[in-house]
Amino acid sequence: MPDNGRPTAPDIEPIRGFAEGSPNPTVVFGGPAQRFLYANPAFCLAAGREAAELLGLSLAAAFPDLAAAGHLAALEQVRLTGAARRTPGQPLRLRPDAVPGFWEIEATPLHDPQGAIWGVLAQLRDVTAQQAALRRAEAAQATLDALFDHIPEGLLLAEAPEARLIRVSAHGLQLAGLEAAAVLGQEAALHPATWQVFRPDGTTPAAPEELPLTRAVRRGETVRQETWLLRRRDGTVVPILCSAGPIHDAAGRISGGILVCRDVTDLTRAEAALAASEARYRALVEAGALAVWTTAPDGRLLHGADWAEFTGQAPAEAAGWGWLDAVHPEDRERVRDAWAAALALGRAYDTEYRLRHADGDWRWTAARAVPLRDTAGRVIEWVGANTDIDLRKRAEQALLASEDRFRTLAEAMPHLVWQTDARGEPEYMNQRLRRQAGLDLAAARHGGWLAMLHPEDAPALSLAWEAALEGGGDYEADTRLRGADGGYRWFQVRGAPVRDAAGRIRHWVGTCTDMEDRHRAEDALREALAAQQALAREAEHRIKNSLQLVAALLRLQAGRMEEPAARIALEAATVRVQAVAEAHRALQNSPDLKHVRLADMLHELAAGAAVQHPGADLRTEAPEGLTLDAERAIPLALILSELVAKALRHAEPGAGPVRLSARLEEGVLLAMVEGQGRFLPDEDSPEGRAASLGATVIRALSRQIGATLATELTGEGGTRVVLRLAPEEAAAEAG
């Protein structure tokens, strides 16, 4: 068959013969392009197109929506493979202006006498109703599951004909104190013994055939509110109110039954105080109701003693539509329309309105009425009740007023204010926030609010928000938000959960406070501190260079002195100036210009001493992380420099090394100089009393920094001088 026109060889007439009168849309396609060869009247009606308009067109050209949705591929597979195919309910839109329906498509290949496939016959069946019924069945199953899981009643489901239990609600098991495994699968004969059910006398065990569920399954009986006694495992006897009814399949056969029971211990006690069954009925019906009433099929009030008692209306006043006079004027028209609609349609009446009490006060009530029908389905009367909901309605009104106040405050605040539901989905943004973000509430939902975050801040803030939602704690973060102009500003974002009386999170509220000026000030402060630190380092560098220059001049002057005493004095002064310069050099290398790394300082002191004493063996040791505040480090450097100079002057040629070390021992800083010879006399000795200027400097500086000085003799004539410094905090207090 050519692909660009109608078939020349295939005969459509046999298909036309059965399809013309078929209620199912039927079409024939031919060729790879799937061109229309035939469309029956039912298809033309469903598509809203004439057959002449369709013939010769490709299916894709005639119905581009079907092609875009991929529905044509299945038909092409039938043409290529020659295998018939039935596609279950598919959503198809045959008319652009129509609501998509569900269609079942049965595609059959068409062969010529030689067996070659020349086309595809497609028959469509509208299964929209079946799909809707399936969804209703699924919803009904979900409803049943919810009832069995959550309703505070005992629910038992049994299958016919043995009344075998197939499901028991959680509350029913709890009521009897049993496990599901102990009761599921049981037949009617075992029910009374397993559940320990007794007649109302409390001593006679129930027989299987008289239990409500057995009667419903085996006899098709509907049982309403029968009282039985249930004995729990702990021996407690509980009166239970039972209702049961049969379940019928589509053919009307009994397929099972359901039992509803609940603990009526409190109700039984109340009923014991009533003498007549009519009083018991009214106590049960009127529990929680302000007024119970019945009307004729046309809505005329038949029995309304409670109505009269509550509203103060006489029966004659409430007759007809007179009862509306007791309804609040603002609610009256709405209530009249709702009641008239219920009467006209014969369906339940359910509304809320304010009702005037006999004392003149208005109270919110929930009115509900249902029609009672005879076996022919005719309404014989209406039974209704008004229930007090005044506290709930006032609470709702207070909540609405509170929300109004919140929104008024939120719009007046100079902040960006937002609110989300318990899952974090935005549900309110004040006008400032909408203007700042350039987003409305709809655009902010489903993660759209992330677009207003700076790309560098979005990942961290999103993770932090998810953690707050999961943990239920307060949330706070600084981030950059994009404005409607495309620029970014720093904001402090804060959020907190709002909980109900049970502690559950109802929603989240939060603010975004503009922190751009603070962040700029902090940046400026950091820049100023960096500049100050750089200036301090430059000053330390210049001080170190100046001291080194002074030391060089003193060293040069000492070299020109002929008198020994003067030369020695200048050399000592050189050592002291050099020690201060070396301490400043170590301070310059510190991270904060407030503390000196002692390892650096000892290394600098050793290097300076080596200049004065070429060839000397000087060794240092101190932990890398050990530091000392600058105020005590420079005097300590002078002390150690004096001790090293003395150790080197007293050392014999070829003597062992001079060691400088520092360490922490039980929270006390120990600084030590160790070398050969006795280079720091004991103060109590005659030589100590004639101490040199160096010894005097050492002792004075030791007192200044709160250090104690101890001299120890080592083996082979060596000396170790130990300085003990208090911790930094204690030293600050002493200062």
Map out the domains of the chain as residue ranges.
13-132, 151-272, 286-388, 395-511, 525-734
Judged by average pLDDT, the poorest of 157-166, 298-307, 489-498 is 298-307
What is the structure's pLDDT at 102?
A: 87
In which region does residue 471 sit, left (phi positive, over 0), alpha (psi from -120 to 50) or beta (all else)? alpha
Distance CA 186, CA 631 (A): 91
CB distance 606 to 585 below 8 Å: no
Q: What kind of architecture, by CATH, is found in domain 286-388?
A: 2-Layer Sandwich (3.30)
Q: Among 664, 659, 578, which Cα is nearest to 628's?
A: 664
Q: Among 314, 317, 349, 318, which Cα is nearest to 334's?
A: 349
Q: How far are the Cα atoms of 28, 30, 85, 123, 542 from residue 43, in angstroms, in the given order?
A: 11, 17, 19, 9, 99
Distance CA 245, CA 222 (A): 4
Judged by average pLDDT, the poorest of 71-80, 241-250, 310-319, 536-545 is 536-545
- Answer whether residue 499 shows pLDDT above 60: yes
CA-CA-CA-CA torsion sign (134, 140, 143, 144): negative
- Residue 264 CB contacts under 8 Å (≥ 6 apart), including other chains: 227, 239, 240, 241
- Answer whether residue 477 shows pLDDT above 70: yes
Which residue would you say has higher pLDDT here, 192 or 728?
192
Distance CA 392, CA 367 (A): 14
Distance CA 430, CA 35 (A): 57
- Answer whether residue 341 shows pLDDT above 50: yes
- Residue 381 CB contacts under 8 Å (≥ 6 apart), including other chains: 294, 295, 296, 297, 302, 371, 372
Q: How far is CA 356 from the centre of its chain?
A: 46
Q: Helix or strand or coil: residue 22?
A: coil
What is the structure's pLDDT at 428?
A: 86
Judged by average pLDDT, the poorest of 65-79, 173-187, 356-370 is 65-79
What is the structure's pLDDT at 329?
A: 94
Q: How confident is the model at residue 344 (pLDDT cuts 50, 70, 90)?
A: very high
Distance CA 216, CA 160 (A): 10
Q: Whose structure tokens read 């009249």? A: 336
CB distance 222 to 244 below 8 Å: yes
- Residue 290 CB contacts under 8 Å (≥ 6 apart), including other chains: 306, 310, 355, 363, 365, 385, 386, 387, 388
Query: How many angstroms separate the first and last alpha carbons of the chain?
Result: 111
Q: What is the DSSP letter of 247?
A: E
Q: How far are the Cα atoms of 133, 283, 336, 430, 454 from residue 312, in angstroms, in the given order?
A: 49, 21, 20, 48, 67
Strand ranges inside 195-253, DSSP E: 197-198, 223-231, 237-248
What is the structure's pLDDT at 730?
A: 38
- Residue 663 CB contacts under 8 Å (≥ 6 apart), including other chains: 622, 623, 626, 669, 670
676: which strand partners? 718
Judged by average pLDDT, the poorest of 301-310, 323-332, 583-592, 681-690 is 681-690
What is the structure's pLDDT at 260?
A: 92
104: which strand partners? 125
Can you read off the two tokens belonging to residue 399? 């909540």
- Answer whether residue 218 shows pLDDT above 80: yes
What is the structure's pLDDT at 569?
A: 60
- Section 80-95 average pLDDT: 85
Domain 525-734 adopts which CATH fold? Heat Shock Protein 90 (3.30.565)
Can you read off the two tokens belonging to residue 139? 């919803």
Which residue would you say has higher pLDDT here, 560 or 399?
399
Per-residue pLDDT tens over the stretch 426-470: 888 888 888 887 888 888 888 888 888 888 888 888 888 888 888
What is the structure's pLDDT at 565?
A: 62
Q: How far are the Cα atoms of 19, 116, 344 from residue 31, in angstroms, in the given order?
A: 21, 12, 58
Distance CA 37, CA 27 (A): 8
Per-residue pLDDT tens over the stretch 142-158: 777 777 887 888 889 99
Q: What percent of the chain has pLDDT over 70?
A: 81
Task: List phi, psi (to 5°) of 305.
Answer: -60, -40
CA-CA-CA-CA torsion sign (211, 213, 214, 215): positive
Work out the burial of residue 437: count CB atoms within 10 Å of its CB; fewer than 13 is exposed, 13-18 middle, 19 or more buried.
buried
What is the structure's pLDDT at 44?
A: 93
Domain 395-511 -> CATH class? alpha beta
Q: Do 13-132 and 395-511 show the same overall fold?
A: yes
Question: What does the DSSP assignment read for 536-553?
Answer: HHHHHHHHHHHHHHHHHH
CB distance 198 to 205 below 8 Å: yes
What is the structure's pLDDT at 538?
A: 53
Can you read off the two tokens belonging to residue 437? 């973000």
- Residue 554 CB contacts under 8 Å (≥ 6 apart), including other chains: 570, 571, 573, 574, 577
Question: What does the DSSP assignment read for 567-598?
Answer: HHHHHHHHHHHHHHHHHHHHHHTSSSSSEEEH
pTM to 2 decimal places = 0.30
Question: What does the DSSP assignment read for 313-335?
Answer: --HHHHTTTGGGGGB-HHHHHHH
What is the structure's pLDDT at 530?
A: 60
Q: What is the DSSP letter of 68?
A: H
Per-residue pLDDT tens over the stretch 97-125: 777 888 888 999 999 888 889 899 999 99
Q: What kind of architecture, by CATH, is found in domain 151-272?
A: 2-Layer Sandwich (3.30)
Distance CA 36, CA 522 (A): 75
Of 3.30.465.10, 3.30.450.20, 3.90.550.10, 3.40.1390.10, the CATH number of 13-132 is: 3.30.450.20
